[in-house]
């Protein structure tokens, strides 16, 4: 047994090692291909004479960052992005929590068809409805209105937010809530004091998920917001650098990096936090 046992695994082991090597090499190649376009952003942002090509800056400097750090070029558009994204996320969260509560807690004939319609809603191509939405906004006199744009953007992510929120709420055990009911709390009070605190990590995930999408959205504000003073960074960066014939690539890259940092940070935060939320809901199930 022992002799046989030592001879047979050897080829298998060698095969496995070869597979591992091949896998690593392939991963490295794909990883490099994905990193290259991003590398340009970093190098160009530090290079005052940047062009299309990727090269290590001869004299790395923060000149580009200095050039874009002005109120009208950077701060106002970023503030507008923040208003749009946080407004969208708040509207989403409020509407989704309210909708998810009866859907999760009170079984009715209405629930299933509604959830499937919501799911169907997630699949509408949003860019396809932008032409009709523009028409609608003209008719309702909503064009160039930040609140109306927020409500529209919130609606485009609402189906997904409802779906996620309901799933998170389903994993909050009913027993805790029943105790609150026995103590005479109303449904809404139980929701506020018992259910929401227990699913706060899930709510955080939904909030960040919506925020990232709204922050990065270009097409919707591009169509619906006309005044430069209301436009978010995605639109201002496009009109500024698109219209200035000879593009200042270094500044474009520096602006892009400053504009991208918040969502990169939020994503990192969420991929850590939601790991815990997932673990938490798993623990409760068991």
Q: What is the dihedral of CA 155, 156, 158, 161, to 10 degrees?
A: -160
Among 8, 9, 14, 38, binds other proteins (CB under 8 A): 38
Among 84, 93, 146, 162, binds other proteins (CB under 8 A): 162
For residues 75 and 267, which CB has a smaller minimum distance to other proteins in the complex? 267
| Of residues 207-226, those binding other proteins (CB under 8 A) | 209, 212-213, 215-219, 223
CB 50 within 8 A of CB 253: yes
| Contacts of other proteins in 223-262 (CB under 8 A) | 223, 233-234, 237-238, 241, 249, 252, 256, 259-260
Give the count of beta carbons closer than 10 Å to the beta carbon of residue 234: 21
**183 part of the interface to other proteins, by CB under 8 A:** no
Residues across the chain: 286
Q: Which residue in the set 9, 14, 19, 189 belongs to the binding site for other proteins (CB under 8 A)?
A: 19
Beta carbon of residue 40, minimum distance to other proteins (angstroms, whole number): 5
Contact call for residue 160 and other proteins (CB under 8 A): yes
Write the CB contacts of 142 (distance below 8 Å, at least 6 apart in sequence): 136, 148, 149, 224
Q: Please, are residues 86 and 150 in contact by the beta-carbon 8 Å criterion?
A: no
Instruction: Count CB-CB contacts under 10 A for residue 187.
Output: 15
Phi, psi dihedral angles at 276 (to 5 degrees): -65, -45
Q: Which is nearer to other proteins, 69 or 266 (CB)?
A: 266
| Shortest Cβ 152–other proteins spacing (Å) | 5
125 binds other proteins (CB under 8 A): yes
């Amino acid at each position: 047994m022992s002799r046989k046992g030592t001879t047979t695994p050897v080829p298998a082991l060698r095969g496995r090692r070869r597979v591992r090597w091949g896998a690593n090499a392939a991963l490295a190649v794909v990883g490099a291909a994905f990193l290259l376009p991003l590398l340009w952003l970093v190098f160009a942002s530090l290079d005052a004479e940047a062009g299309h090509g990727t090269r290590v800056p001869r004299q790395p400097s923060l000149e580009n960052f200095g050039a874009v750090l002005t109120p009208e070029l950077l701060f106002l558009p970023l503030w507008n992005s923040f208003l749009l994204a946080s407004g969208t996320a708040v509207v989403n969260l409020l509407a989704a929590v309210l909708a998810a509560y009866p859907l999760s807690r009170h079984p009715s004939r209405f629930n299933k068809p509604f959830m499937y319609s919501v799911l169907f809603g997630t699949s509408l191509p949003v860019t396809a409805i932008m032409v009709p939405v523009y028409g609608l906004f003209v008719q309702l006199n909503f064009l160039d209105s930040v609140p109306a744009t927020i409500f529209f953007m919130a609606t485009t992510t609402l189906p997904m937010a409802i779906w996620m929120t309901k799933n998170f709420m389903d994993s909050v055990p009913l027993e805790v809530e029943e105790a609150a009911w026995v103590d005479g709390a109303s449904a809404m009070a139980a929701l506020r004091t018992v259910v929401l605190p227990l699913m706060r990590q899930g709510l955080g995930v939904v909030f960040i998920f919506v925020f990232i999408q709204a922050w990065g959205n270009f097409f919707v504000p591009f169509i619906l917001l006309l005044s430069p003073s209301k436009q978010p960074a995605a639109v201002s960066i496009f009109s500024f650098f698109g219209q200035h014939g000879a593009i200042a690539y270094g500044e474009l890259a520096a602006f892009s990096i400053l504009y991208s940092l918040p969502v990169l940070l939020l994503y990192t935060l969420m991929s850590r936090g939601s790991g815990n939320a997932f673990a938490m809901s798993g623990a409760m199930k068991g």
